[in-house]
Each structure stands twice: as C-alpha cells, then as structure tokens.
Amino acid sequence: MTAGRAAVLEAGELVISDVEFPEPGHGEVLVKLVASGLCHTDLGVIAGGIPFPAPGIIGHEGAGIVDRIGEGVTGLAPGDQVLLSFTSCGACAGCDSGHPAYCETWLPRNLLGMLRPEGSGDIMREGTPVASRFFGQSSFAQYAIADERSVVRVDAGADLAVLAPLGCGVLTGFGSMWNVLDPGESDIVAVYGAGAVGLSAVMAAAQRHPAQLIAIDLVDERLRLAVEFGATATIDAGTEDVAARLAGLTGGRGVSLSFDTTGSPKVARGALDAASVRGTVLVCGAPPPGTEIPVDIQGILPGKILRGVTMGDSDPATLIPQLIALHADGKLPLERLEKRYSLDDIARAADDMHHGVTVKPVIVF
C-alpha cells in the first residue's frame, strides 16, 4: 500500500483525508499526480445530481508520473509523464470503430464506479474501502489507480499542470466542434456557455473560420475571452434577448451549427428554436438523470437535428496529442482559462467555478 491524501466526497462535501492506495492490478498503473483539473461533472456529483458511491474519490482530469505498473501493462513504464482521461472496454463495437466515448459499458465504467478489472484493489481510509475509479482514475488525490486505457503518455518535460484539463473539459469542447459539428466557412456557429468546454469549442471553431462564431454566456469576462479566442460576436444572456440578437446577427436565417454546453433544457430549446433550416443543435453536460428537453415537433420538421455527445466523440489517445501540439503552437492558450489551487483549497476551487470566478480550476499537488 502507498500512503497519501485525497479529497473524499461524503455528504456533499470534499473532506481531505489520509488514505492508502493499493498496488496496481492487471491492466492498471499507479500514477503519482502532479495536478488535476476540476470539471462541472465533478460539481454535479458533489451536488448529488450525478450518482456515485460515497464515501468516494472523484476527479477525472489527472496528470502525473507513472509510479508502478500492473501485470499486462505494455505501453507504459515507471517515470513516464501521463495525462488521464476516461476509460473504455476496448473490445465493443464503439471501441473497435474508434469511438471509445460510446463504449457499450461507458456509463458503469466511468460514472457509476461499478465495473473494475478482476484483482483491482480498493483505496482504504482507516481500514474501510473508499469508492474510486471515477472515469477510470479518481484524480482528487496524490495518487491514482488508473486503467491503462485511461492513460496517455506525453513528452518528458511537458507542463502537466497546464495540460491536465485536456483529459475531459478541453477534450469535450474541442472534440465536439471538430469531430461532430465540423464547421465549414459558410456556417454560422453559436456556442451556448463559455466555460472551459464552451471556450475550447470556440477555439476549435475559430480554426475552421466559419462565417460567424457567436458566444453566449452570463459572465462578461468569459465573453471577453471568447472574443480573444476568435468569436466574431457575443451575447450576454443576462441582459440581452438571445433569440432577437441571433435573429439579427443571422438576418433571420438562424444558426446552422449550435453547441449547448450548459445542460439546461431551456437553453437547448432556445438553441433549437434559433436553428436554421437543416441546422444542428449538439448538447452535452451532465444534468440530473430524467432531465428532459421540450421539443416542438412542428418546429423540427424543417430538417433540424437535436443530437447528444459524450466526451466530444473523441479517442483520447488520438486527440490529446493533437491538442498538446496546438498548445505548443500557441493555438490553444490553456493558461488563459486556468487558476491553480492546492488540494486543501479544493472546496474553494469548486465554489469559485460554480460562481463563475474561475473558468478552469487546476488542483496542484
């Protein structure tokens, strides 16, 4: 066992605790974490809207150094610098076709903490098991037992604290725009919500040079960042009539490609109403189970498409290296999104994110 500290979720709070990490099992690695991003999905679990066993360790944007490897691990070695992302089975139709975000067992493997490799050990707190393996990693701790399929090796010397959010938030926003919406130069693109996911989508869309790129949010600073990252127009949803502004910006034609990152049914319905003929509205986020989007059937008959997405329909092993290269070229300025916090300050980081003070908190160990 390896001793360390972790933020353990119990009764809706993150409690800093001393824990013990087991040896990695078959197909697993023990990673000594350098940093972990904090994501809105983590906030959803803390608030109780997303089920995960408690007491448990969440967190799913880990970055660190491989400490030890388990039996059967072939692509990693102690000392490797790595980023952590979601896990998948590697054998179903989704995984075999290059779409591991649509793994047939994605939900129990990543969000529910139900599927674990045979022989995988428990993280212990005072002799009692603590739930873990959130997104195949549980990164709000000084160490993580991670699936090999959750791990992406990066070059030695990479700034892991800067790159940590690539594992989920940036991956989801960038991948959703590039892999799914795939805007062209004639498209009008709207991004609803300018948090880490939305701003990553703005950065991705800007590189495709659409006819218009519109960012919509409630926070002035985030809208200013969207302009810095390539948005051609912004809408303050707190003070402006979003539907009227979109109609004016598009000459009444509507938005051809919309990405709703908010998880709000009202926002998704507004995006669908504002979509053009044959327009697509892509939704992500993690609202509580049972959340429904009201749809007017007559309103979608002009060929409108409402579509969901998980993790940007990305393969981390492919997209993360591309994102690292874009960052190195100055085309993905992650530092502009991030603010660093210690593990002891993780509750404040979550509160700052919830209230729009920080776009992307990064916990550094």
From first CA to last CA, the distance across the chain in angstroms is 19
Distances (CA, A) of 288 to 43, 59, 135, 176: 12, 18, 18, 21
179 and 67 fall within a common domain: no
| pLDDT for 352 | 93
| pLDDT for 299 | 92
Residues constituting the chain: 365
CB 46 within 8 A of CB 77: no
- Within a 10 A sphere around the Cβ of 127, how many other Cβ atoms? 6
183 and 297 fall within a common domain: yes
Q: How far apart are CA 199 and CA 174, in angstroms?
A: 9
142 and 274 fall within a common domain: no
| pLDDT for 61 | 95
- How would DSSP label each residue in 160-204? HHHHGGGGTHHHHHHHIIIIII---TT-EEEEE--SHHHHHHHHH
15 and 158 fall within a common domain: yes
The per-residue pLDDT string of the chain (365 residues; one tens digit each, 9 = 90 and over) reads 799 999 999 988 999 999 999 999 999 999 999 999 999 889 989 988 888 888 999 999 999 999 999 999 998 999 999 999 999 999 999 999 999 999 999 988 888 766 566 667 788 899 999 988 899 899 999 999 999 999 999 999 899 999 999 999 999 999 999 999 999 999 999 999 999 999 999 999 999 999 999 999 999 999 999 999 999 999 999 999 999 999 999 999 999 999 999 989 999 999 999 999 999 999 997 777 888 999 999 999 999 999 999 999 999 999 999 999 999 999 999 999 999 999 999 999 999 998 889 999 999 99
Helix H or strand E encompassing 274: helix 265-274
Nearest to 62 by CA among 144, 158, 130: 144
Number of domains in the chain: 2
336: left (phi > 0), else alpha (psi -120 to 50), else beta? alpha
β-strand pairing of 62-69 with 28-37: antiparallel
Phi, psi at 57, each rounded to 5°: -115, 125
157: left (phi > 0), else alpha (psi -120 to 50), else beta? left
Q: How far apart are CA 173 and CA 198, in angstroms?
A: 6
| pLDDT for 114 | 63
206 and 302 fall within a common domain: yes
Residue 317 lies in a domain: no
CATH code assigned at 52: 3.90.180.10
